[in-house]
Amino acid sequence: MVVKEDGGDVGPVTLLTLETLTERVGMSVRNIRFYTSKGLVPPPLRRGRSGYYTSDHVARLQLVQELQGHGFTLSAIEKYVAGIPADASPEDIALHRTMLAPWMADSREELSHAEIERRAGRDVSTDDLETLQALGVLEPCGGGRYQVSISQLGVGLGLLDLGYPIEAARAAHEVYTAHGRAIAEELYELFRTEVWPVYKEQGVSPERIQEVVERLKPLSINSLVRAYEAGMDETRRANIARRTR
């Protein structure tokens, strides 16, 4: 059931019953109550003996689902949600969800060690698996199975054949992680302060915002690749010039 009530300055507020909420987010009553007890979503609004939910509850539950889909543990979800202001609007939370979505399509399959060897057409040692993990080609998912990036498996195997050292793979992973996080935080802050206020003032829907971000993703990835290539070329020229001197 949906109920409308006066929300003061923000206009009418839509109130949802627990049953309607479960239908809206595709989540069981038990899970909703569990997440509420963990503080991941606020408690229901009390109207007499009844409890009601709003678009804020919907947005926060959908964010929890998004985080779960990305493999976040409950502890990690709690830490992430704790960083979102209590007064964040449903649109603000929708922006978080949009920025969480993968920026590049990466087809992954769950494979066992033996299945990876069959795909590779060769023996893949435990050390090889560790190197492929450091390269970001695969991730253990428990039970001796791995989430494998099918598009990158051949590249990773080629590096193994060339004797690429695992220490270099691990060091490169740390570089990518550190700088990738910094870039993500700066881009998110830029979007939040420069783009989001403009669209919010125009009354643009969260769905429209998501479409904008989706269209920006390939351009952003292309810009990052070009910046990396330009930086590598500049570094190589500088090293050559330094050696010739």
pLDDT, tens only, 28-41? 999 999 999 999 99
Residue 96 falls inside a structural domain: no
pTM reported for the whole predicted model: 0.52
d(CA 86, CA 40): 10
**pLDDT computed for residue 8 by the predictor:** 47
Paired tokens of 190: 């830029």
d(CA 151, CA 2): 46
Provide the domain limits for residue 129.
Answer: 108-164
d(CA 74, CA 202): 36
Give the Cβ contact number of residue 116 at 10 Å. Answer: 22
| Helices 150-161 + 113-120 axis angle, to 10 | 70
Residue 92 falls inside a structural domain: no
| 171-192 confidence digits (pLDDT tens) | 988 888 888 878 878 887 888 8
d(CA 190, CA 102): 19
Residue 98 falls inside a structural domain: no
| 72-124 confidence digits (pLDDT tens) | 788 888 988 888 888 888 877 877 777 776 555 566 789 999 999 988 888 99
What CATH number did the domain enclosing 55 receive? 1.10.1660.10
Residue 151 falls inside a structural domain: yes
Angle at 100 between CA 94 and CA 106, to 5 degrees: 135
Residue 182 falls inside a structural domain: yes
| 221-232 confidence digits (pLDDT tens) | 778 878 888 888
Among 179, 175, 187, CA closest to 103: 187
Of the three residues 149, 164, 179, the one that is the final residue of a domain is 164
Residue 49 pLDDT more than 70? yes
Among 44, 37, 43, 88, CA closest to 63: 88
Please state the domain count of the chain.
Answer: 3
d(CA 226, CA 228): 5
Of the three residues 148, 164, 180, the one that is the final residue of a domain is 164
